[in-house]
């Protein structure tokens, strides 16, 4: 079992990153965590609002593309592990404005690799099941499958994965990669499906479901993603990739039904809208390699979605201020015309 003392968690104010910081410190209170975050629209200090006054958490506001700041932070803080959550992550946003995804997800990861190489630091990279692309028939993606991304977001993450693996081979730096399924849970920015549908339902607004809603996804609770990352950090083989999910799928329509039933809302809120370009039909991952480390998910997909929906009921203080201003502009740009075609108001 490896000992990890000082972590640099990039993107630690984002959804998965902030949940990881919370989980890691609860399980490893002797560790120190330096949160490194650009504080973009989805990176929010509020996600760690109750931890900033604790002695073993600190914040550095910066871009992972700033090599001097990353290097100085790692040196000053005695970092022995970088966990890279920092990324632009939303497929719809990548279709609207793809270049920022290359800047952050590819160049930013490259900068972290250069600093890790220079200072001799281990790097763990957070990736996604979307790098595998649309999965056909009954196949489940395994870690050695060819990458076949189909959106600018997925392509940028696949490029980052390959850079990480190339640095391990060329320079021998210690790296690991986890590829996560569709995560749901606390502090997820409401551009993503489950928090969008949950908050819309709470407000009595229509739920814009892309196409026929029969796209297949593995909805995993962010808690299980965090425990999976922990297992890889402590027991995973250096240089290896591990899938993290439940290994089970549901359609997006099934997900919507769970949200509405959990919140006690009428299913007439569902409105089918024009699908997005290149929408992958199915993601599915085999997680046997991670299970071999002794890991098991706590939540199945139905439990994960229901638990997430309940969190938004109980934490309006967090999401109500978000659903205005910049978010509202994005929402109207993304859905207003689509919803108008359904007759929804």
Digit-coded pLDDT (tens) for 209-246: 999 999 999 999 999 999 999 999 999 999 999 999 99
**How far is the C-alpha of 105 from the C-alpha of 327, rounded, in Å?**
22
Measured CA to CA, the distance from residue 189 to residue 193 in angstroms comes to 10
> What's residue 50's pLDDT?
96
What is the pLDDT at residue 1?
59
136 CB-near residues (< 8 Å, 6+ apart)? 282
Give me the active site residues, please.
129-130, 153
For the segment 104-157, what is each residue's pLDDT rounded down to a tens digit?
A: 999 999 999 999 999 999 999 999 999 999 999 889 999 999 999 988 889 999
Q: What gap in Å lies between CA 338 and CA 335, rounded to an integer? A: 5
Q: What share of the chain is helix, strand, coil (3-state, %, to 5)?
A: 45, 15, 40
The pLDDT value recorded for residue 5 is 93
Q: Which residue intervals of the chain bear CATH 3.90.25.10?
A: 193-216+248-278+305-340
- pLDDT tens digits, residue range 321-332? 999 878 998 899
> Tell me: the pLDDT tens digits for 9-59?
999 999 999 999 999 999 999 999 999 999 998 999 999 999 999 999 999
CB 129 within 8 Å of CB 87: no
Q: In this predicted structure, what is the pLDDT of residue 203?
A: 97
- Fold classification of 193-216+248-278+305-340 (topology level): UDP-galactose 4-epimerase; domain 1 (3.90.25)
Superfamily of 6-184+220-244 according to CATH: NAD(P)-binding Rossmann-like Domain (3.40.50.720)
Query: Residue 51 corresponds to which tokens in the numbers above?
Result: 């931890």
Positions of CATH 3.40.50.720 in the chain: 6-184+220-244
Q: What mean pLDDT, rounded, does the chain reach?
A: 95
Residue 303 confidence (pLDDT) above 90 = yes
Number of neighbours of residue 52 by Cβ within 10 angstroms: 11
Neighbours of 156 (CB within 10 A): 28
Q: Is the pLDDT of residue 261 over 70?
A: yes
Q: Looking at residue 170, what is its pLDDT?
A: 98
Mean pLDDT of 315-322: 96
Separation of alpha carbons 79 and 53, rounded Å: 20
């Amino acid at each position: 079992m490896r000992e990890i003392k000082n972590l640099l968690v990039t993107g630690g104010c984002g959804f998965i990153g902030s949940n990881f910081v919370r989980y890691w410190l609860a399980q490893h209170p002797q560790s120190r965590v330096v949160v490194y975050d650009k504080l973009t629209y989805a990176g929010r200090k509020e996600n760690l609002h109750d931890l900033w006054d604790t002695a073993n958490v600190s914040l550095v506001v910066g871009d992972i593309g700033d090599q001097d700041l990353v290097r100085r932070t790692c040196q000053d803080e005695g970092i022995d592990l970088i966990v890279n959550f920092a990324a632009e992550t939303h497929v719809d946003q990548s279709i609207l404005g793809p270049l920022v995804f290359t800047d952050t997800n590819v160049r930013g990861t490259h900068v972290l690799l250069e600093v890790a190489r220079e200072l001799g630091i281990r790097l763990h990279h957070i990736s996604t099941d979307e790098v595998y692309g649309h999965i056909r028939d009954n196949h489940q993606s395994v870690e050695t499958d060819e990458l076949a991304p189909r959106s600018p977001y997925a392509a940028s993450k696949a490029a980052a994965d390959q850079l990480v693996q190339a640095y391990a081979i060329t320079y021998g730096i210690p790296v690991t990669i986890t590829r996560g399924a569709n995560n749901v849970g606390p502090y997820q920015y409401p551009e993503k499906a489950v928090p969008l549908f949950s908050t819309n339902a709470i407000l009595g607004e229509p739920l814009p479901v892309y196409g026929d809603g029969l796209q297949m996804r593995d909805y995993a609770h962010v808690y299980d993603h965090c425990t999976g990352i922990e297992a890889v950090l402590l027991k995973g083989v250096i240089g290896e990739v591990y899938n993290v999910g439940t290994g089970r799928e549901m359609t997006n329509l099934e997900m919507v039904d769970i949200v509405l039933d959990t919140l006690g809302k009428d299913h007439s809120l569902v409105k089918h809208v024009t699908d997005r370009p290149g929408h992958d039909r199915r993601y599915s991952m085999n997680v046997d390699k991670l299970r071999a480390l002794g890991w098991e998910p706590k939540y199945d997909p139905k439990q994960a979605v229901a638990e997430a929906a309940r969190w938004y009921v109980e934490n309006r203080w967090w999401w109500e201020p978000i659903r205005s201003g910049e978010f509202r502009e994005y929402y109207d740009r993304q859905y207003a015309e689509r919803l108008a075609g359904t007759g929804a108001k």
